[in-house]
Amino acid sequence: MKGWFWLFLLLSGSMVSCAPFSKDIMRQVDPTLIFDEIQRNPQPYVGRTVLWGGIIIETTNRDSETYIKVRKTDLDYEKRPMNVDRSAGRFIVRYNGFLDSAIYREGRETTVAGEVAGIEVQPIGNTNYRYPVILAKAIRLWQPPIVYPYYPPWYWGPYPWGYPYPYWYYRPYWW
């Protein structure tokens, strides 16, 4: 009976998936494609599937599409953007349908799986920038990470419940 419990626990734990996208989409992704090469010459890569992520810069709704400009970053093991203070460049995501720009707003982390569609040249300041364009198959919008407060060890004193009776309202080393 004990062996069945552990087998059940192992099988149920292995069924839980941490992948942000379906297995079908992940099989289509070509991890050998390099962002810089696609930005320089996208024609050989048109129609191939990439998995890129980063921080949303701007979301624009058009007639039947939503354009999202993303600042590209590296992805971690969960395919979540990491090293958000670094940028590998920018790209545009074209999504066939409406995405609310209040939800897909500036500063949110996103990961996109989609096909390379070409290049779009748009200005950034006084220069023209070549944006690789991705036709989105799947978009994952990440929740902001939870930050737990840290209390240094001296905050609670030598005991887990704080200082004992005479020092409840003041700490002896504060004098």
Q: What is the CATH number of the domain that holds 118?
A: 2.40.50.140
33-52 pLDDT per residue, tens: 999 999 999 999 999 999 99
- Which pLDDT does position 175 carry in this prediction? 47
For residues 128-153, give the mean pLDDT.
86
Tell me the average pLDDT of the chain. 83
DSSP assignments along 33-85, one per residue = --HHHHHH--GGGTT-EEEEEEEEEEEEE-SSEEEEEEEEEEE-TTS-EE-TT
| Count of the separate structural domains present in the chain | 1
**More confident: 113 or 9:** 113
For residues 104-126, give the mean pLDDT.
94
For residues 151-168, give the mean pLDDT.
55
For residues 15-32, give the mean pLDDT.
78
Q: Is residue 10 part of a domain?
A: no
Q: What is the extent of the structural domain holding 120? A: 19-141
Q: Is residue 9 part of a domain?
A: no
